[in-house]
Structure 1
């Protein structure tokens, strides 16, 4: 069972050079991702006098996030594994691919990267607000929770299939593309309802900078539940337990 492979690790891991380099890589990748993704929405709103909620704005957001995530995952893949998402890190922790202490180090770096990106956006745009994720009219917190669970399940399942599975072969080379594509597609599906976060750090940065916390719990609970389910399903059903490999963090 995957849960039997969960590793707590030790506090000393947080100060090891490899762990610090991995954390820095996650911080930079998250900064790149959030700056481009959140910034694209701000730019579209400026060009259209607040029209970021139009269908064209949704498409622009999906493309920007897909492209930015492809790059963010690619540039960190050889250092930290390119998680760029606390939910992805959690899914890999559930599968036994990263220890608890390294998971916490990754989370701190990812959250800081998002906050710094939003602060830079606010400063460089002359004080424009980085809008926090929110629910659309008629969408309840529970509706949004289901959206976040399902969308994040698809994301983490894709991560496992293209980057984690030891039987993946050469398909692993397209992992960043597949991960970017599923996020872009999910934004097209869920963006009009709850913003389609799938990533607690992406939601956290704008919430901190704008100090808006309405229904913020949805953007944590949903992704973590979806990630955990995806990890368990893929590990139990598709990864052969007898040949399972404990992959280093730099390879997921």
Structure 2
């Protein structure tokens, strides 16, 4: 990940091969993640016809998302940074780690990847309608919003600690695993309440293809707020800004 630098992006960046490769990587990785995550829900729907009613189903969905995100981030981290999530891209933008132009490219690629994944699922599952996200029984939109803010804060904080922090050291090799695990853990917590989304693209693709929009706004507002807060806190408080060291030569008598 690049050092902090706020910029709109150069003109040549719009057509540079690196930008194209990174955008393609985000598209493919988001497609992989959404296909496996949403697909696990549809698979359980097909098996049990009553999704989300048991702890075993929740664990299966959480593991599917964790494994898929682990693979998706690992596959694209060296090309695009492995965002796979518009909220993560938004946090990186607020932290000055990505240009506005590249962020827009990533957002388009991530949303398109999620839509294509949902369309493929509808095709290969004989027309099963994507489940999409919605607040559970007795869970208000405000409760769901708070869930999404807190969970995405944890996700973005983990991304910063393992993938962005210049002093991350060997933690960088663990970034895909850590990111996948925090998402899986958050789904175990929030799955019965609001589904545990943390990713606007993950919410939008299935919602569009399945045409399910109930409480959809919380899966955009919550993750963007949570990721933005985590990025600003980590960027400006956790990452130290060290003054340059001016090495003065010792006086001859001090040798």
TM-score, normalization by structure 1:
0.92
Segments of structure 2 that go 5 or more residues without pairing to the other structure are 245-255
How far the C-alpha of 1:8 sits from its partner, in A, is 1.7
Q: CA offsets, 1:110-159, max 9 Å, x none?
A: 00000000000000011001112111111111110000000000000000
Asked if 1 retains the 8 angstrom alpha-carbon contact of 2:29 and 2:72, the reply is: yes
Does 2:118 correspond to 1:118? yes
Query: Which is worse superposed, 210-219 or 152-161?
Result: 210-219
Larger Rg: 2
Partner of 2:33: 33
How far the C-alpha of 1:5 sits from its partner, in A, is 4.3
Does 2:68 correspond to 1:68? yes
Distance in 1 between residues matched to 2:223 and 2:150, nearest whole Å: 8
Query: Which is worse superposed, 205-214 or 65-74?
Result: 205-214
Segments of structure 1 that go 5 or more residues without pairing to the other structure are 245-252
Residues matched between the structures, number? 241
How far the C-alpha of 1:243 sits from its partner, in A, is 6.9
Asked if 1 retains the 8 angstrom alpha-carbon contact of 2:149 and 2:222, the reply is: yes
Partner of 1:131: 131
Q: In angstroms, what is the RMSD of aligned CA positions?
A: 1.5
Distance in 1 between residues matched to 2:140 and 2:11, nearest whole Å: 40
Partner of 1:189: 189
Distance in 2 between residues matched to 1:222 and 1:19, nearest whole Å: 28
Asked if 1 retains the 8 angstrom alpha-carbon contact of 2:156 and 2:231, the reply is: yes
How far the C-alpha of 1:211 sits from its partner, in A, is 1.5
For residue 6 of structure 1, give the secondary structure of its aligned residue in structure 2.
Answer: coil
